Amino acid sequence: MLKPNLHYSELKDSYLFYNISQKVKAYLDANPDKKVLRLGIGDVSLPLCDEVIKALHEAVDDQSKKETFHGYMPECGAPFYREAVASYYKKRGVCLQSDEVFVSSGASDELGDILDLFDKSNSALVIEPAYPAYVDANVMAGRKIIHLPSGEENGFLPEPDENTDADILYICSPNNPTGAVFDRVKLQKWVDYADKTGALILFDAAYEAFIEDEDIPHSIYELEGAETCAIEICSLSKTAGFTGTRLGYTVIPKKLERNGMNLNAMWVRNRTTKTNGVSYVIQKGGAAVFSDEGQRQIKENIKKYKQNAEILMKALDELGIWYCGGKNAPYIWMKCPKGMGSWEFFDYLLHEIQVVGTPGEGFGKCGEGYFRLSSFGSLYDTEEAAKRMVKLLK
């Protein structure tokens, strides 16, 4: 008889964002006349920019003609897409060969898939509060997880110390959910730790496009020694509004080796076996993001999300509520008022003013007592939510 993967029984009943959507659905079923304001999951509300839409249309037309039609794409990515990503890195002084860049259908898929490269006996260190898929994907694989809590005392940016002992290290900067960003000095400590011990960093750069401070690294490869200890995973979801279009990329330097095995070559082997890549049309749309005009247009959208963040921060300032994030990141991480627990505050906001956010506890135990607001909602939802919060909590 088939034996299922018993590690699934070690998972929480349901995934954080699924759980939230079920709660919101139950509320709306019971209160059909209400409209909720969604500042929960980081799903974008602005459409794809014109440059991307133009490229998508052209690519669809290519597929209609014999001379320009494309069948299977190269599994690791279309050369034009891999080159577009590599040229984006070059502008920031990071030299990558295009075959060090792999196409993906988004960071969340890739963060789980990439674990194929590592033995089950490796431990995974997760700096918490953290994007819950890091933990869940490793629980499913039966891997030992080391939860490294962080808090206000270290700005949610812990450093390795003499007790740190892990093989896979998850680092997300700008951070989801706290919005905290590693500066060069702090990030270098993790790179040095990994290079010294042979650990490997999985660097989640999904929010790099939101960085506005000059001295904050966008890529881990801006740091010395990272090409021998880090894989970088990025997505166009938040950068360019691809949450529903699905596209991302993963960087695996050719210098990355462990036990005499080359991780770039291993990923080529994995991809050529397990996927037929991403469609020509979508990769064409993605390449347009990295053109000069594409960059200009996506920055306009990011500016609008940052204005939403400002509206939310102003409301919290008015209420005298502690928060961080919102500057180099699209998320605001706030303390729940009146000593409320994070799910308690979630229910309170949903029932009293129909505002949906994300309870901090969903990102790990040390997130209890905190709450995440996303700036990806519409301007209307954001302004209205800010107004209602001020009225309710004053």
The angle subtended at Cα 390 by Cα 386 and Cα 394, nearest 5°, is 165
- Give the nearest distance from C-beta 77 to ligand MLT in angstroms: 21
Decide: is 173 part of the binding site for ligand MLT (CB under 6 A).
no
Work out which of 24, 28, 41, 321 binds ligand MLT, going by CB under 6 A: 41
HSE value, Cβ hemisphere, 13 Å, CA-based, for 141: 23
Residues 321-360 that bind ligand MLT (CB under 6 A): none
- Give the nearest distance from C-beta 232 to ligand MLT in angstroms: 16
Region binding ligand MLT by CB under 6 A among candidate stretches 2-10, 35-43, 59-67, 93-101: 35-43
Region binding ligand MLT by CB under 6 A among candidate stretches 36-44, 72-80, 149-157, 183-191: 36-44
- Considering the complex, state which of residue 88 and residue 363 has its C-beta at the smaller distance from ligand MLT: 363
Region binding ligand MLT by CB under 6 A among candidate stretches 37-45, 70-78, 250-258, 319-327: 37-45
Region binding ligand MLT by CB under 6 A among candidate stretches 40-48, 73-81, 182-190, 292-300: 40-48
The percent helix, strand, coil of the chain (3-state, each to 5) is 45, 15, 40
Q: Is the N-terminal amide bond of 32 cis, ω within 30° of 0? A: no
Q: What is the DSSP letter of 360?
A: G
For the chain, the C-alpha Rg in angstroms (whole number) is 21
Decide: is 188 part of the binding site for ligand MLT (CB under 6 A).
no
Decide: is 308 part of the binding site for ligand MLT (CB under 6 A).
no
Residues 247-266 that bind ligand MLT (CB under 6 A): none
- Give the nearest distance from C-beta 206 to ligand MLT in angstroms: 7
- Considering the complex, state which of residue 122 and residue 235 has its C-beta at the smaller distance from ligand MLT: 235
Contact 129, 369 (CB under 8 A): no
- Give the nearest distance from C-beta 43 to ligand MLT in angstroms: 6
Helix, strand, or coil (residue 274): helix
Region binding ligand MLT by CB under 6 A among candidate stretches 38-46, 165-173, 208-216, 223-231: 38-46
Decide: is 382 part of the binding site for ligand MLT (CB under 6 A).
no
Decide: is 178 part of the binding site for ligand MLT (CB under 6 A).
no
Structure tokens at 25: 């659905």
Decide: is 122 part of the binding site for ligand MLT (CB under 6 A).
no
In 3D space, the residue among 83, 88, 375 whose CA is nearest the CA of residue 218 turns out to be: 88
- Considering the complex, state which of residue 108 and residue 250 has its C-beta at the smaller distance from ligand MLT: 108
Structure tokens at 341: 């627990």
- Give the nearest distance from C-beta 286 to ligand MLT in angstroms: 17
| DSSP E strand boundaries for the chain | 37-38, 101-104, 124-128, 145-149, 168-172, 200-204, 230-235, 248-251, 257-258, 261-262, 323-325, 331-335, 355-356, 358-359, 370-374
Work out which of 45, 104, 105, 108 binds ligand MLT, going by CB under 6 A: 108
Residues 262-291 that bind ligand MLT (CB under 6 A): none
Backbone dihedral angles phi then psi of residue 375, each to the nearest 5 degrees = -95, 10
Distance, CA of 211 to CA of 327 (rounded, Å): 8
Decide: is 176 part of the binding site for ligand MLT (CB under 6 A).
yes
- Considering the complex, state which of residue 45 and residue 108 has its C-beta at the smaller distance from ligand MLT: 108
Q: How many residues bind ligand MLT (CB under 6 A)?
A: 6
Helix, strand, or coil (residue 290): coil
- Considering the complex, state which of residue 100 and residue 128 has its C-beta at the smaller distance from ligand MLT: 128
The order of strands in the sheet holding 331-335 is 323-325, 331-335, 370-374, 358-359
Distance, CA of 45 to CA of 241 (rounded, Å): 8
Decide: is 42 part of the binding site for ligand MLT (CB under 6 A).
yes
- Give the nearest distance from C-beta 205 to ligand MLT in angstroms: 13
Distance, CA of 59 to CA of 9 (rounded, Å): 44
Q: Which residues bind ligand MLT (CB under 6 A)?
A: 41-43, 108, 131, 176
